[in-house]
Structure 1
Amino acid sequence: MTTIEKNLVNQIEDTYNLKDKVVIVTGSSKGIGATIAKELAKKGANVVVNYNASSASAESIVDEITEFGGKAIACKANVSNLEEAQLLVEKTISEFGRIDILVNNAGITRDRTFRKLSQAEWNEVINVNLNSVYHTTSAVINVMLEQKFGRIINISSVIGQSGGFGQTNYSAAKAGMIGFTKSLALETARSGITVNAICPGFIATEMTAEIPANVMEGIVGKIPMKRLGKTSEIAEAVIFLANSEYITGQCINVNGGLYM
């Protein structure tokens, strides 16, 4: 590698350096959230790995981060519950002294055609996918305002943009995240806080692995790039937004061209 190439690599690494930033990633014991947590830690961030039920998985992510020299703790909290979300933030501040980046990633699906969708299935998805965003963000916003610095990154979905058959609850929640993002971005733009959303397409995770092969074939056939996304590609977008000072209120689409 030439001196010029080395300098360029160093410049890129410096640009995306999150050294000593404190990050909460909700729902990060597996899937997209786990990769986001690990990649942020690789950039120097102190990471809170949030989980609700998968304690072993969360501790495994913490162990991985610790092994490569990063700092992380696991914290149990059902972020669909306001009090637990507040305790999550309180523990983060107690451990690290501040909170710089909030990644609202927690989410579930309860797919059902609308005529068969129960109120419980509607409420569960709205509570976990959308109300949790209010809970965690309301718990960090005053801290970020006092710091005059903050990055709020909401993991929405292509389904929140295009809709999805049998996903009225999920689509409504993810679309709500986009509206939340734009409105809060307006309110915080002059305070050193950016608020953005990432809208993944179909990503290779444990969740998509459960889709029947014939259905998956049809999904991939509709993606212009003819493949599922990687969790690392969502993490790259998170790192980009975490470092950006002049992007706010935007939806970054990471979907292989599925929705334009």
Structure 2
Amino acid sequence: MKGLDKVREMKVIKFTITLLSTSILFLLFFPKKSINPSSSPQPLQRDSSSSSMSRARSFVLWLHGLGDSGPANEPIKTLFTSPEFRDTKWSFPSAPSAPVTCNYGSVMPSWFDILEIPVTAESPNDDSSLLKAVQNVHATIDREIAAGVNPKNVFICGFSQGGALTLASVLLYPKTLGGGAIFSGWVPFNSSITEQITPEAKQEFSESNYLNPKVPFHKHGCQLLVFCHRGLMLSIFNFPWKL
């Protein structure tokens, strides 16, 4: 059994390294307007890896990809060993199971509905489903801030679908957060959501006239790409991962 557990552990570590080798989108975020929830948001489901630290100085929320689970991504935190992470609380919640349109209605862990795959510049989005997920992320962040964590020490990270949710969640949060990291994600929203981002935030990102609305992060990208989506400028950096 120990040999089998070791093999499983190595597979998880290999998967983690694969995630980190994808293109990474780092953003600086600014104060935003609150979204108007249509229903009472609920904090994301707690998982066994969430620290019970009563005085955490920082908080990292990791959002997994479509069909995955929070516990399967827990080894990621073992890669962050610097002293700055000593008082960090990590959370790896699992998405609720729901039918996913792009997978012919199959039920699987999903933060919001994806209408088609692969995602392209012309792909439709389900803003209603996305906003509900954003509200739940915000409820989770609100809980940590209420517990004493400075908003500027709160970071949201996500892979694939979780990365797309990360982008929407941080841009729409009403307070300045530490930032967000999107691993192999995409821009998941339409103009109805873009309009809810404050003019101040748009101004910080709109110094370019590039018109590429979406970038296929699951494929190999360039070292640096700046693009604009409905007036919102984003900078994408590709960091190759080496052991």
TM tier, smaller? 0.3 to 0.5
TM-score of the superposed pair, with normalisation by structure 1:
0.32
Name the structure with the higher helix share: 1
Compare relative contact order (CA 8 Å, sep 6+) and give the higher one, 1 or 2.
2
TM-score of the superposed pair, with normalisation by structure 2:
0.33
